[in-house]
Amino acid sequence: MDIQELITKSSSEQRKALLNKEVSSEELVNEIYKKVETVDKEIGAYNSLTKDFAIETARNVDEKIRKGEELPPLAGIPLALKDNINLKGYSTTASSKILANFVSPYDATVTKKLKSNMIPIIGKANLDEFAMGSSNENSAFKIVRNPWNLKKVPGGSSGGSAAAVAAGEATFALGSDTGGSIRLPASYCGLVGLKPTYGRVSRYGLIAFASSLDQIGPITRTVEDAALLLNAIAGHDEKDSTSLNMTPPDFTQGIHNDLKGVKIGYIKELCSEGLSDDVAKAIQSSIEKYKSMGAEIVEISLPLIKYSIAVYYIIATAEASSNLARFDGVKYGYRTKNPENLYDMYVKTRAEGFGDEVKRRIMLGTYALSSGYYDAYYKKAQQLRRLIKQDFDTAFSKVDVLISPTCPHTAFDIGSKVEDPLSMYLTDIATITANLAGIPAMNIPIGLDSDRMPIGLQLQANSLNETKLLNVAFKLEEAVQFNYSIPSMSLV
């Protein structure tokens, strides 16, 4: 297989080529960098490249292959790392001016796991500043463009991670998901995106946005790749107090199982009104495919889902207000020039260092937590969050997996929602509930709309049930046969 074609394939196909010595990991990595050099000026997927690290890792993999030594399943396969995950000795900016010159002094736990699995990290992927956004237009450095159509957004906040994979600038990527920030970009870019159960993957070394919602997860071309990458990064971490103290299963086991007897619930509130015609048809087609595979389809109602946007944006902004207080210009990051006093330094550093969307969310969160409003807003939101989780518990007592659109529409034009924050927030209507409930959820591409833009289906399962989630996703992937090759419009 030609190496230019190989970089568009799954990790399994690339690993086979590596072990058969048809190509070396160093050649694979260098070909990826050629692709980055060719297309990334248009796409803007990367904030920075980590070429010396990637090449060194690739050479170590090649040496082990020459010696016939056993390798981890993903060794030598190129990955993009979202730029809010720390990599020791390299910049970690969260796409914010306030961290523009920050070099991480330590590795995130997931980064250590990538290193132990000998996975070359190509670079740090662009994102919405501090992961706050649904379109990747909020980066302090540059907008990310969708490789399927450069006039469209790639989704956010992990837009750089998704665009890199879709454009052939990485085989797979890690993103973070606070309210859909893995699944939405995966949907817009025609990829698989998985948000694991809260606590399944350590958050140590992830720059926090909303600590009770954030979760690191994979963005890949195939369901099997998502399972393999989750295998590499999952597990207990004593440095993260919310990390689940249990040994994770092999997530690749059982993904080939048939679906006879599996109960799949379609969420009534998300599968009826508000969908574009193309999305509605694709969802119905997927339901029919599941029926043909022997799955039982059940209508499920989540009556409190109508409150989810309000609940999410109170809790997320409140936690952001607390987490981002550490960026004050004192110990690290950007500091304003010539402040008059300490207070002036705080005010000007944050005014100059944070972008508009980050400021908006800090102000909303500070207001929700303020004296006199805490009970009315934050406490009430947490009570509703518990009731939303109970809705899911009731649903999962009836079905194994829930399905819905990942988004009511496909990728929208760059700039079309910038002046309307509420409209932008509503793009997350289907995804945020999984973060509120702490359950695993994923996107799988199911076709293209009339403008040739990818359509995504969301699957959700009960806590710790990623294996069933991946099984149901894999069987639909087989039936749909979505073309994961680099979109032909990547340079248009």
Catalytic residue annotation: 82, 157, 181
CA distance linking residue 235 with residue 96, whole number of Å: 30
User: Assign residue 471 a region: left if phi > 0, alpha if psi is -120 to 50, beta otherwise?
Assistant: alpha
Query: Burial level of 418, CB count in 10 A (0-12/13-18/19+)?
Result: middle
CA distance linking residue 107 with residue 162, whole number of Å: 22
Per-position b or e across 359-370, b if 16+ CB within 10 A of its CB: eebbebbbebbe
CA distance linking residue 474 with residue 454, whole number of Å: 18
Query: Burial level of 97, CB count in 10 A (0-12/13-18/19+)?
Result: middle
The answer to whether 169 and 39 are in contact (CB under 8 A) is yes
Q: Is the dihedral of CA 323, 329, 335, 336 positive or negative?
A: positive
Token code pair at residue 474: 């894999």
User: Assign residue 332 a region: left if phi > 0, alpha if psi is -120 to 50, beta otherwise?
Assistant: beta
Q: Of 30, 28, 33, which is closest to residue 65 (Cα–Cα)?
A: 28
User: Assign residue 327 a region: left if phi > 0, alpha if psi is -120 to 50, beta otherwise?
Assistant: beta
Token code pair at residue 280: 């509605």
CA distance linking residue 372 with residue 128, whole number of Å: 32
